[in-house]
Amino acid sequence: MVNAIIFGAPGSGKGTYASRLQSPLEVDVIATGDIFREIMKEENPLGTKVKSYVEKGLLVPDNVVIEVIKQRLAKIPKGKGFILDGYPRTIEQAKNLSKIVKIDLVIQLIVPDWIIIERLSTRRICKNCGAVYNTRYLKPKVEGICDKCGGPLYQRSDDTPEVIKNRIDVYERQTQPILRFYKEAGVPIIDFKTESPEMPPEVAVEKILNGLKKLQLF
Ligand SMILES: [Zn+2]
């Protein structure tokens, strides 16, 4: 059983890897974006509270965020661990988290900027069903048309090289102190480096699992 946090810049493949690690590691993947969307649909005090911030466009305060995480962690079946994606984003949050659960491992995805820029600037999304394509690595059968639903594909307005570079910088500034926090706390960190934009996800996942084996966590 392993409790892990995964860190990676936007476009690092974080979501893909986390979901593929789910079954070999027997963990729940907890993506904060998803749990916030879920909880806002719930008719309970916590859901209503979260909604009141989000609807006003305000940042949900740390003490509320940790409650949401706590509630989700409590739903993990006995004997199962988790991979947390999207949390913690500050040292304060990391400290709060360490008060409620033990973290065994941090997975850091290291992807060179040029690969992220190439991946995201060639990304196309279906307007209708949200399916994700790539004009180089994952082409639709017909250009500009979704294979699954026939909807039109578009490029997100913030998927441009300059904006992507800025998002990577923000991510780095935010994440480096948190990684230092875990290092100082003695939590093992697996660094996984992507060297080519064509690397198949199964190869990446295999390498991450090998890292866990070395630490005797898998
Ligand atoms: Zn579609």
Phi, psi of 51 (to 5 degrees): -60, -40
Tell me if residue 123 is catalytic: yes
| pLDDT single digits (tens) 2-26 | 999 999 998 898 988 999 999 999 9
The pLDDT, as a whole number, for residue 196 is: 87
Q: Whole-angstrom Cα distance, residue 118 to residue 13?
A: 13
Of the candidates 80, 139, 156, 180, the residue annotated as catalytic is 156
- Spans of the chain below 50 pLDDT: none
Say if CB 212 and CB 17 are below 8 A apart: no
Name residue, tokens 């999207």.
86
186 alpha carbon – ligand 1 mean position (Å) = 45
Ion ligand 1 neighbours, Cβ < 5 Å: 126, 128-129, 131, 146, 148-149, 151
Q: What is the pTM of this model?
A: 0.88
